[in-house]
Structure 1
Amino acid sequence: MALTPPPALDDAGLLSQVLCPAEVAYEERVASYWSNTAKKRPTRILRPASAEELSRDLVTLVNARQLFAVRSGGHSMPEGASNIEDGVTIDLGLIDQIVFDKESETVQVGSGCLWNQVYGELQKHNRAVVGGRAGSVGVGGFLLGGGNAWLTAQRGWACDNIVAAEVVLADGKIVSANRSDHADLLQVLKGGGNNFGIVTRFTLTTVPLDQVWAGILVTPKDTIPKICRMTMDFVTKIKQNTENNLIIVIGYQPDLKDVTAIVLVVNTAGVTDDPIFDEWKELPRITEMIKTTSLYDLSFEATLPKDHYTSWFTLTFKSDPRIMLKASELHDELVASLKSFMPDGDFMSQCTFQPLPMIIAQQSLRAGGNIMGVEDNKSDGILFQVIVIMKTEEQHAFAYAQAKGYVESLKEFAQSIEGGLFRWLYMNYADKSQDVLTSYGPENVKKMREAANHYDPDGVFQKLCPGGWKLPELDD
């Protein structure tokens, strides 16, 4: 049973729009979460329309010692990351202003925006930002988790392109974190999650961008060993070809009743015949859908089905075909296990490989650096994710354990190869059980702890905002 909110919440004259259970608007907001895993039922949903409204209402919540969660787009899957059962969810969806400044070539974006809104507005100016590939993903959570994007090799992680952040602190103070003021806060926000305050607006650098060449090709399972080798070659070449990117998805397709390899390709300059893709074009294919399009239109295609239960885990490892092939073999075992428990057609599973050339860390450092520790990589890498999507809560409980075992087996294999396993984990693909912030390294944990002690000395975002990944205690 949900806890009754403290009387202060109802009597303090909250400025935000307040949604209560059983109201139509409340039910619509709960239903709008991407994954059923996140569809909790808070005692109240607060919808501030500005930083000033949020400031006053956050103070009210803190004074009442009320547990809360913060939602941007509602795409975060781990339980509690953007919603809460016995508490208040602060829904930033009304803070969705987008203002492009031609002179500075920057854009101010409200944290409650979705990326397709941002791309749609910037398309009018032939500009883009380093943002989410799926247009339904929210701006705030994506940026605070780091943000891998089609433009990452060119411009670093999405968070590296934050010029300034408007932040509401736990005491209600509103600050602008930039390179001149509160620079320590700006750095820890770049990958540090919801540990320091609530960001209501980001100022982002933009890039000139008109059309992109992009799409997918689906190839038979027997191409997977070749694709693993080709992926390593691609990662090696990308530092001289930063306008190109790809994602490899090895997935079980219920319609085909088999595993296939799906290759998502992009050239952000709109070039259709870049030699880096010559070998990829020669692969046998089950289907192909590649075309010249816009980043805005593409953002509607890079999506997974919503309204399901979801489990996912992540690793980062050396760009090595042996590790990728092992991931594929373990995925076959995962599919067999899932089939033994749930009917064919009730689930989808994927393991994905995304290039992490060392040039990305170099781009990050040029932009001032983030807090993720990615510069510690000693070789080109792969950002890996395993995803299982299923229909029922019972299936989710089973699949979660299977996916967790899968990633542990792959982690063990990567560790057996010299330099095979990287330390750091990518927050936006991680399960709650994975210790993301510790993976950033002791120096970065120290920076985050010092910033939290300075900007949130009472530990509000550690104690009253339990969702997401919380800061570990420092060793004495």
Structure 2
Amino acid sequence: MRLFGVALWAALAEATRDEDGSFCCSALGVVGLHERLVYPGFETFSTSLNRYFSQGARLEPQCFLQPHNTAEVALAVKTLVKANQTVPCRFAVRSGGHTHFAGAAGISGGVTIDLSLMNDVVFHADNETVSAGSGATWLDVYAYIDKIGKMVVGGRSASVGLGGMILGGGNSYHAARKGMVCDNVANMEVVLADGTVVNANQNENQDLFQVLKGGSNNFGIVTRFDLEAFEGGNMFGGLVLYPEQTAEQQFQAIINFGDKIEEDPYGSAIVIGVYLPAVAPVPMFMNAYEYTSPVERPTVFEEFFSIPGNISDTTGIRNMTSLALELEEPKTHRVSFSTLTIKSDIRVLHKAHTAFKTVIERLSAQASGDWAILTLYQPLPALFAQYSSKKGGNILGLDRFDENLILYEPYLKWSSSEDDLLFESQAQWLRDEIETYAKQLGVDHEFVYLAYADKNQKPLESYGHENVAKMRKAAAKYDPEGVFQYMLPGGFKLSKVW
């Protein structure tokens, strides 16, 4: 079926020629999506704009499109590709909008496809899967499965969307037993560049299935994830606060934890350096411990719990909904985060902590308003990658390495746009300082975790030449015209690799 006659296209282009992007929005309305369009000046537009996690990520499109189902997403893609032959129709796609930098899940003057209304969660007993729309958050998923005693391998923070996290790989509390989040997806429903809807799994479109697991938004729009489910229930977890003077013990404990994870793969630990000046005028450690079985204070955390002087402790037997909400951050600040991967070397962790305190001093002297800084240290043991090949493989390239690693993430947030340059420059300095030191010691590592990466990092390149070649082959097959490279310009683009 032809979407438009030639005369109608010409008339529409003429009527909207002076309004950037309005032709593309109008084209969507003409094909029957007018009730799904949201324009500036309406409360629903502001509500959608405010769903971005970081205020700095909020780009104002010409319109938001809020589809209700996959067929509407497919129609939107077909329409935008057709309209692009008359007027450039750039678009963005947003699931949860948790990436902190502008342009990853939004666009200025174009069309932002907001998937937030595609958030249904359903359990299928016949094949033990949980189907969730790409616009669902992990809170949507956990609130549902906690009630029915099921569990999936998923995210750790409530408002993170499924789409961006799974397509970026995804770390979880279950990683030592189950692998990365993307490795525990049974099927993805995908809208391709020509509007075709396909399933990607181990039996259908297996090449697409593999590259979606870490390849981000380069191949299509995933509208539904079918997640492998298993018996769930409560687990042990929470946050423990320690004085800053325990740094030596914290870093030794997290390295030991990663090295011994195979002995008890139910455990997960994150060491977090925190400075929250609105709460306390001194840096501290706020560690997250989770054990995916309802065992009180399991011995896997013994070294951490033996560190003296803990200030507070929220750990206990809880459900995943409660744990995800505990890590939730309000969407009221501007945010910057990035990532480094290093080999497990305590010297680098101490260097990172020293740099953390240096940045605290600089920001305390110059920053205005409400602000905070955190530095996260997470084990990334070789064990995590061993599950991938059993489930169709992912594209992250971690299976190339047999060493235990540490994921480092500096995280800064602030309230005033006038401080953007200050905080962004300090975030960059922090990462550069640690990366340089790690290289001097020979313990740096090429892997860049896409879900934490900053806009100037290159996660796709870090997957290795073989995996980049696989992604290019899949992109040429499923998107030969480069719709998801050029019409959807945001995020980490395969077309910009090397």
* Deviation digits for residues 25-60 of structure 1 (CA, Å, limit 9, x no counterpart): 111111122110121111010011111111111111
Paired residue for 1:30, among 24, 49, 62?
49
| Matched residue, 1:69 | 92
Q: Residues of 1 paired with 2:78 and 2:166: CA distance?
A: 25
Paired residue for 1:400, among 421, 424, 442?
424
Q: Residues of 2 paired with 1:213 and 1:19: CA distance?
A: 43
Q: Residues of 2 paired with 1:171 and 1:2: CA distance?
A: 26
Partner of 1:348, secondary structure, is strand
The amino acid of 1:83's aligned partner reads: G
Q: Report the Cα offset of residue 377 of structure 1.
A: 2.4
Partner of 2:56, secondary structure, is helix
| Matched residue, 1:89 | 112
| Matched residue, 2:5 | none
Q: Residues of 1 paired with 2:19 and 2:139: CA distance?
A: 34
Q: Report the Cα offset of residue 312 of structure 1.
A: 0.9
The 10-residue stretch of structure 1 (441-450 or 57-66) with the greater mean CA deviation from structure 2: 57-66
| Matched residue, 2:202 | 179
Q: Report the Cα offset of residue 8 of structure 1.
A: 2.8
CA contact 2:334–2:415 (8 Å) conserved in 1: yes
1:90-129 aligned within 5 A: 90-129=113-152
User: Would the alpha carbon gap of residues 442 and 30 (structure 1) be closer, same or farther in structure 2, given more than 3 Å must change?
Assistant: same
| Matched residue, 1:465 | 488
The amino acid of 1:99's aligned partner reads: V
* Deviation digits for residues 159-185 of structure 1 (CA, Å, limit 9, x no counterpart): 001111100011100000111111000
CA contact 1:212–1:268 (8 Å) conserved in 2: yes
Q: Report the Cα offset of residue 304 of structure 1.
A: 2.4
Q: Residues of 1 paired with 2:67 and 2:127: CA distance?
A: 28
Q: Residues of 2 paired with 1:386 and 1:2: CA distance?
A: 40
The amino acid of 1:296's aligned partner reads: T
* Deviation digits for residues 340-387 of structure 1 (CA, Å, limit 9, x no counterpart): 2114x6210011011111110112222222101111223101111001
1:11-410 aligned within 5 A: 11-14=30-33, 17-65=36-84, 66-254=89-277, 255-283=279-307, 284-343=309-368, 346-410=370-434
Q: Residues of 2 paired with 1:160 and 1:57: CA distance?
A: 29
Q: Which has the larger radius of gyration?
A: 2
CA contact 2:337–2:412 (8 Å) conserved in 1: yes
| Matched residue, 2:7 | none
Partner of 1:436, secondary structure, is coil
CA contact 1:131–1:158 (8 Å) conserved in 2: yes
User: Would the alpha carbon gap of residues 195 and 9 (structure 1) be closer, same or farther in structure 2, given more than 3 Å must change?
Assistant: same
| Matched residue, 1:417 | 441
User: Would the alpha carbon gap of residues 84 and 53 (structure 1) be closer, same or farther in structure 2, given more than 3 Å must change?
Assistant: same
2:478 is the counterpart of 1:442: no
Q: Report the Cα offset of residue 282 of structure 1.
A: 2.1
Q: Residues of 2 paired with 1:443 and 1:319: CA distance?
A: 26
Partner of 1:124, secondary structure, is helix
The amino acid of 2:486's aligned partner reads: K
Partner of 1:432, secondary structure, is coil
Q: Report the Cα offset of residue 190 of structure 1.
A: 0.2
* Deviation digits for residues 421-470 of structure 1 (CA, Å, limit 9, x no counterpart): 12111111110110111111111111111111110000001001111100
User: Would the alpha carbon gap of residues 16 and 465 (structure 1) be closer, same or farther in structure 2, given more than 3 Å must change?
Assistant: farther
TM-score, structure 1 normalization: 0.96
2:30 is the counterpart of 1:5: no
CA contact 2:29–2:37 (8 Å) conserved in 1: no
User: Would the alpha carbon gap of residues 307 and 473 (structure 1) be closer, same or farther in structure 2, given more than 3 Å must change?
Assistant: closer
Partner of 2:413, secondary structure, is strand
CA contact 2:461–2:497 (8 Å) conserved in 1: no
User: Would the alpha carbon gap of residues 335 and 179 (structure 1) be closer, same or farther in structure 2, given more than 3 Å must change?
Assistant: same
* Deviation digits for residues 219-262 of structure 1 (CA, Å, limit 9, x no counterpart): 11110111111111111111121110011111112121111111
The amino acid of 2:387's aligned partner reads: Q
The amino acid of 1:324's aligned partner reads: L
CA contact 1:2–1:86 (8 Å) conserved in 2: no
User: Would the alpha carbon gap of residues 356 and 474 (structure 1) be closer, same or farther in structure 2, given more than 3 Å must change?
Assistant: closer
Q: Residues of 2 paired with 1:2 and 1:382: CA distance?
A: 49
Partner of 1:93, secondary structure, is coil
State how many pairs are aligned: 473
- CA-based RMSD of the aligned residues comes to 1.5
Partner of 1:361, secondary structure, is helix
Q: Report the Cα offset of residue 22 of structure 1.
A: 0.8
User: Would the alpha carbon gap of residues 411 and 474 (structure 1) be closer, same or farther in structure 2, given more than 3 Å must change?
Assistant: closer
Q: Residues of 2 paired with 1:16 and 1:135: CA distance?
A: 29
The 10-residue stretch of structure 1 (442-451 or 375-384) with the greater mean CA deviation from structure 2: 375-384
CA contact 1:15–1:53 (8 Å) conserved in 2: no
Q: Report the Cα offset of residue 101 of structure 1.
A: 1.3
Partner of 2:477, secondary structure, is helix
What stretches of structure 1 of length at least 5 have no aligned partner?
Answer: none
% identical aligned pairs: 37
Q: Residues of 2 paired with 1:74 and 1:425: CA distance?
A: 20
Q: Residues of 1 paired with 2:234 and 2:224: CA distance?
A: 27
CA contact 2:101–2:455 (8 Å) conserved in 1: yes
The amino acid of 2:61's aligned partner reads: P
What stretches of structure 2 of length at least 5 have no aligned partner?
Answer: 1-17
Q: Residues of 2 paired with 1:287 and 1:102: CA distance?
A: 41
Q: Residues of 1 paired with 2:181 and 2:353: CA distance?
A: 28
CA contact 1:9–1:64 (8 Å) conserved in 2: no
Partner of 2:347, secondary structure, is helix
CA contact 2:206–2:392 (8 Å) conserved in 1: no
* Deviation digits for residues 93-146 of structure 1 (CA, Å, limit 9, x no counterpart): 111121211232111111011111111111222111111111111111111111
TM-score, structure 2 normalization: 0.92
Q: Report the Cα offset of residue 473 of structure 1.
A: 5.7
